[in-house]
Chains A and B, each alone.
Chain A
């Protein structure tokens, strides 16, 4: 088999200039997620707008941190008043048939990348170059279809977009200006049969 080993062995290893374009693509690709994550944030912004025409929720003493209810049409409403007890919220979602991974984050932080393998590029794919492209990608991907904000503290979950054994990964981040927007949500689907690593919070100004 020596003949095969020496076949075309004079092909040289690449020089840095041969790889400059590939290296640039990699470096550009490293910074995509923060921009793509704006997709769910845009959705939350829609929720804020909707809240101006619906009765704002009054959060007072005794208000539960979260609530999960299933509607007759199969959709699920998740109300999050306070970022407390992510494990409990996760368990509540489990009770209505949603396999979820919930993380709560302090302001100006995010979970470190690479927690899970996403079913689509919504989590860590190439960035959208403009709002039109973003809108088009949102139509193609399943992750953005799973959740929809219906008020500043309520998210509707559409289980029909979640395939068997996929995990709904929810990263809630508390906002500095909690009066207007109490938290923002990143929601993605992890591939069936794969694990989701615990969230390691890191600084994120965006």
Chain B
């Protein structure tokens, strides 16, 4: 199949619908969202498993595309919701990443040298943050990081995780309280 300009410029919902008859259209969705999804996963798990998680996420999405709510033109909440489940199966990797960072002060995927000037200050903030993330319940961490790192709105997080908006607010509130406490305590 030739990917036409019309396909490339379609919104996500149109692409997904089209992919029911023309599966290759789904690759356009991958090209559109995989780079930033990979970044999100890398921040949470490190670079070692990010590509696998992205592949698992898109394969699961492809298989479930018949259930996609076509009233939602932006597929990011749907994709990040699936990714959250895939990440959830790798909790140990996520914990190891935070623990390693607390010890070494190095995230394995950060571009070295970018923050040299304020590197010490960054570390003074990031270490307690990593410790706080490590201490959060998985459900609270998912909500917090979908807002902070994936930049989803509260409603989009609710859609992504299939939970009520009020639950998003309460989880976020709880997580933020723990983060604030961690920052208040500092090193």
**Which A residues are within 8 Å of any B CB, using their own CB?**
1, 3-5, 7-8, 10-15, 18-19, 21-23, 25-27, 29-31, 112-117, 124-125, 194, 197, 200, 202
For residue B152, CB closer than 8 A to chain A, the reply is: no
Complex CA distance for A200 and B144, rounded to whole angstroms = 40
**Which B residues are within 8 Å of any A CB, using their own CB?**
19-21, 23-24, 26-27, 30-31, 34-36, 38-39, 42-43, 50-52, 54-55, 58-59, 62-67, 107, 109-111, 114-115, 125-126, 129-130, 144, 148-149, 176, 179, 183
19 A-B residue pairings within 8 Å (CB atoms): A4-B148, A7-B43, A7-B130, A11-B107, A11-B111, A12-B111, A13-B35, A14-B34, A15-B35, A21-B55, A22-B30, A22-B54, A26-B55, A112-B20, A113-B20, A113-B23, A114-B64, A116-B66, A194-B67
Known: A11-B39, A14-B42; 13 extra A-B contacts, CB below 8 A, are A1-B148, A4-B149, A8-B126, A13-B39, A14-B34, A18-B38, A18-B51, A23-B30, A30-B62, A113-B20, A114-B67, A117-B66, A200-B21
Which of A8, A10, A29, A117 touches B59 (beta carbons < 8 Å)? A29
Which of B54, B67, B126, B176 touches A117 (beta carbons < 8 Å)? B67
Q: A13 contacts B38, CB within 8 Å?
A: yes
Contacts A11-B109, A113-B23, A116-B66 given; does A22 touch B34 at CB 8 Å: yes
Chain A interface mostly: loop
A residues within 8 A CB of B179?
A: 1, 4
Q: B176 contacts A1, CB within 8 Å?
A: yes
B residues within 8 A CB of A18?
A: 38, 50-51
A residues within 8 A CB of B51?
A: 14, 18-19, 21-22
Complex CA distance for A21 and B51, rounded to whole angstroms = 7
Q: A30 contacts B23, CB within 8 Å?
A: yes
A residues within 8 A CB of B109?
A: 8, 11-12
A residues within 8 A CB of B19?
A: 114
Complex CA distance for A105 and B176, rounded to whole angstroms = 55
Q: A11 contacts B42, CB within 8 Å?
A: yes
Q: A114 contacts B30, CB within 8 Å?
A: no
B residues within 8 A CB of A4?
A: 129, 144, 148-149, 179
Which of B23, B35, B176 touches A14 (beta carbons < 8 Å)? B35
Which of B50, B55, B111 touches A25 (beta carbons < 8 Å)? B55
Smallest beta-carbon distance B112→chain A, Å: 9
- 8 shortest interchain CB distances as A-B pairs: A114-B66, A14-B38, A22-B55, A13-B35, A30-B23, A25-B55, A4-B148, A22-B54
Which of A7, A10, A22, A115 touches B66 (beta carbons < 8 Å)? A115
Smallest beta-carbon distance A188→chain B, Å: 12
Q: B64 contacts A19, CB within 8 Å?
A: no
Name the residue on B nearest A13 (C-beta).
B35
A residues within 8 A CB of B35?
A: 13-15, 19
From B26, B55, B179, name the one whose CB has the most chain A CB atoms within 10 angstroms.
B55
